[in-house]
Amino acid sequence: IARTSQLHASLTQTTFIAVKPDGVNRRLVGKIIQRFEEKGFQLVAMKMIQPPRELVEEHYAEHKGKGFYNGLVDYLCGGPVVAMQWKGKGVIARSRAMMGATKDAAPGTIRGDFSIEVGRNLVHGSDCAEAAEREIKLWFGEDKINYEDACEKWIYE
């Protein structure tokens, strides 16, 4: 029992991941989801939404005033977004590493393998715990399903 509750405690980290409109239009949703599934992370919420401008402006509030900000908001509002919550040990940092860097993402990463331009980089992921909490609230409110992870013991020691 001690081991089980310890394991559960270390798995409570959840992050917000979104496939941006270029990823949806380029039919890469399945591939992107597959990367996180294959890693062992658990999908706990998902929806497709064409986000209203106010939502995207708030999501990217930290970039307001930058040269690329208006184009960035247009980009995110320009089609459907697949918004998700993923759960697992170290998921925030690990999913960012799997996405690849903002600029010149390395081959082997999602951005590095499937995109060329920083302004068409397919995927968003929260960059810290505070951002994850804020973004999940913004995109989902309280909506998430907590279900037992049946293969947990085969993914975590």
Which stretches of the chain bind ligand GDP, using CB under 6 A?
Answer: 63, 68, 71-72, 102, 118-119, 121, 124, 127
User: DSSP character for 141?
Assistant: T
CA 85 to chain centre: 7
How many whole angstroms separate alpha carbon 136 and alpha carbon 63?
18
The bridge status of strand 14-19 relative to strand 42-49 is: unpaired
How many whole angstroms separate alpha carbon 83 and alpha carbon 100?
18
Looking at beta carbons only, is 11 or 99 nearer to ligand GDP?
99
Query: Among Mg ion, ligand GDP, none, what does residue 59 contact (CB within 5–8 Å per kind)?
Result: none
Over the window 104 to 133, marking each residue x when it contacts Mg ion by CB under 5 A and - when it does not, the resulting string is -----------------------x------
Instruction: Determine if residue 111 is labeled as part of a ligand binding site.
Output: yes
Q: Which residues are annotated as a binding site for ATP?
A: 20, 68, 96, 102, 111, 121
